[in-house]
A and B are shown apart, each in its own frame.
Chain A
Amino acid sequence: MSDYNFAYLDEQTKRMIRRAILKGLAIPGYQVPFASREMPMPYGWGTGGVQVSAATLTPEDRLKVIDQGADDTTNAVSIRKFFERTAGVETTEDTASASVIQTRHRIPEAPLTEDQVLVYQVPIPEPLRFLEPSEIETRKMHALEDYGLMHVKLYEDIARHGQIATAYAYPVKVEGRYVMDPSPIPKFDNPKMSGMAAIQLFGAGREQRIYALPPYTQVVSLDFQDFPFEASKADAPCDLCGAEDSYLDEVIVDDAGGRMFVCSDTDYCRARRAAGHVGAQGKTEDAA
């Protein structure tokens, strides 16, 4: 494996990806086509994020990889090992000490800083895709800022369900211009995107698109004045660390309908327990 270039991709490819990233940063929320490469992991498993990370990493970086908020989910382990092997960079589970964080489906609970880059894995970058299947058409709609279809969809949700029935991948508008897919993060995470100090990069490998948010970009979740956007989560504290402010996973604990709620961000939960916070079912041995 040693005869691969640093971070797997050759320098020409990384340059091509960096150009797409820079273009994305210059036009926040715009989907930049890029010549996505076939990676040694399957399409749909983070190839876009991996390519963006590969083009972003330097030997001095410290990488964190999470999937569903956790560092030890199988695909996060696999991607972290890939970069350990091909880039030899230091890796960490500690959010604060990572310089590049690749994520699938979550934004870490702890606020990120200007010294960090958050790389999202994106399956379907086009927020209008399920309203209009044709890429030719949706590109036209973005160019013309024609987002009526999206507003009609949200309105129909309210008419039918009394609320907007989108729980994740909730569409946002960037700096009042492009409607953007935030990737399939729960809508709980949407407000964290706006005004974030870190650079946010989005890579969609199979769909060959990169988009980006420079630091402190305004990101607004679409809503109506009389039906304002609301970030939601399970109405419970974490059973391990007692956090009231973190997104929770529901875990089935027995076959009698018993369940508990735990932080989806495992590093956040670990740090809180290490600092002495204890939830309803949290015992000290869990912190080990």
Chain B
Amino acid sequence: MYVAVKGGERAIENAHGWLAEERRGETAVAELSVDQIREQMKLAVNRVMAEGSLYDPDLAALAIKQARGDLIEAIFLIRAYRTTLPRFGSTHAIDTGNMACIRRISATFKDAPGGQVLGPTFDYTHRLLDFKLAADGEVPPAPQAAPRKEPTPHITEFLNHEGLIQTEDASDETPPDLTREPMELPGSRALRLQALTRGDEGFVLGMAYSTQRGYARNHAFVGELRIGTVAVEMDIPELGFAIEIGEIEVTECETVNQFTGSKTEPPQFTRGYGLVFGQTERKAISMALVDRALRWRELGEDDMGAPAQDEEFVLYHSDNIQATGFLEHIKLPHYVDFQSELELVRRLRREAEGAGQEAAE
């Protein structure tokens, strides 16, 4: 005998209890602290801050702990928290020319003022599992040098002296905020960059990779990649001048792209731009490639019909919180819709069988 399923409420509570227990794991193993995550899982923290659009390493570390290491779930927690925060105003644009760089490399010039600084990178490590790390993670201090005091100029500026690279028009226009206004397309470049910097790392990487493999290939060189801290300044109305309210770590990537010229533009190099919170260079480089691919219209290039050139396609599908929510909603009950489909398919089959029999007769 069928009895209508009741008790959804208790099932939910019990499921959440089990989840909390699973998150904690084996209690004989020491609990992970938020500080440990923040200090030793820093790249995960960076990704959560970047795609969560909130610069707060402590909260990002907490979100990772709560999400059991599922970074998209952690990003979701941060996003949901972020929307509840009041807005006090907007800061001045950060000056990456004054960045205190921990890493700064150029693939286009062997050397340049400021030098090549490798910094803490996985590049050139051999990807061999370090079994010693399983037992003992302590390391001797790395060698140190005196930090560079003067500003590190952007590599693309050198190309600019010769007029070899397209100049970007400066604008004081307030950029749109896609977290406060509905997205309207076609969007500005500022809007696209905003969507890309918080877009899913995997999605942006895939889009960028597709341009390298020939879907709207734009032949990018990494003109410069720099990672470091920059000051955040804000005008305080009561004071009448700007003060530094803190500093953030960002990764900036400028690509230099081949360009043979079009009806409207002379042959010159063009740029793609990526800027992402924290040390997140895979994402910043990907962002720069996709940014460049999306600029085909303004540069008078052909529409190759490539996914990475399609602003609507890229912007509507780059957000992993939207994507994962909609994707996973299909596990919600759909009895009603399925029932109506069931009846439709049964009816269509009945009619098809009826027609088949008539034909046979």
Interface residues of A (CB under 8 A from B): 4, 10, 33-40, 42-45, 47, 67-69, 72-78, 81, 104-106, 123, 134-136, 161-163, 165, 167-169, 184-188, 206, 208-209, 232-234, 239-240, 247-251, 253, 260, 262, 264, 266, 269, 281, 283, 286
Contacts and interface: CB of A to CB of B under 8 A. Distances in A.
Contacts of B340: 167-168, 186-188, 232
B313 to A, nearest CB: 8
A206 B324 CA distance: 11
Given A33-B182, A72-B9, A135-B185, 20 more contacts: A38-B79, A38-B80, A38-B321, A42-B325, A43-B322, A68-B333, A69-B336, A74-B332, A77-B8, A78-B12, A104-B332, A105-B336, A123-B329, A134-B312, A162-B351, A168-B340, A169-B337, A185-B336, A208-B183, A247-B336
A123 B184 contact: no
Interface in B1-21: 1-9, 11-12
- 6 pairs of A and B residues whose beta carbons are closest in the complex: A43-B325, A44-B329, A42-B325, A167-B340, A44-B326, A33-B182
B332 A43 contact: no
B343 interface: yes
B336 A168 contact: yes
B337 A167 contact: yes
Contacts of B9: 72, 77, 81
Given A42-B325, A43-B321, A253-B2, A106 B336 contact: yes
Given A42-B328, A45-B325, A73-B8, A262 B312 contact: no
Contacts of A250: 339, 342
Interface of B: 1-9, 11-12, 76, 79-80, 82-84, 86, 179-186, 312, 316, 321-322, 324-329, 332-337, 339-344, 347-348, 351
B185 A136 contact: yes
A239 B79 CA distance: 46
Main secondary structure of the interface of A (DSSP, over half): loop
A47 B185 CA distance: 22
B332 A45 contact: yes
A185 B337 CA distance: 7
A67 B332 contact: yes
A269 B347 CA distance: 26
B306 to A, nearest CB: 15
A36 B182 contact: yes
Contacts of B4: 240, 262, 266, 269, 286
A260 B339 CA distance: 13
A281 B229 CA distance: 71
B329 A105 contact: no
Contacts of B1: 281, 283
Highest count of chain A CB atoms <10 Å: which of B321, B339, B343: B339
Given A36-B182, A40-B80, A283-B1, A249 B339 contact: yes
Contacts of B342: 250
Contacts of B186: 136
A251 B2 contact: yes
Nearest to B186: A136
Q: Which of A4, A186, A188 has the most CB of B within 10 A?
A: A186
A82 to B, nearest CB: 12
Nearest to A209: B182
Contacts of A45: 325, 329, 332
7 contacts: A36-B182, A68-B333, A169-B337, A184-B334, A186-B337, A208-B182, A232-B340
B336 A68 contact: yes
A226 B271 CA distance: 59
Given A38-B83, A44-B326, A45-B325, A75 B332 contact: yes
Q: For B8, B86, B183, B327, which residue has the most chain A Cβ atoms within 10 angstroms?
A: B8
B2 to A, nearest CB: 5
B233 to A, nearest CB: 26
A6 B316 CA distance: 31
A43 B322 CA distance: 5
A281 B182 contact: no
Given A68-B336, A208-B182, A264-B336, A44 B328 contact: yes
B182 A72 contact: no
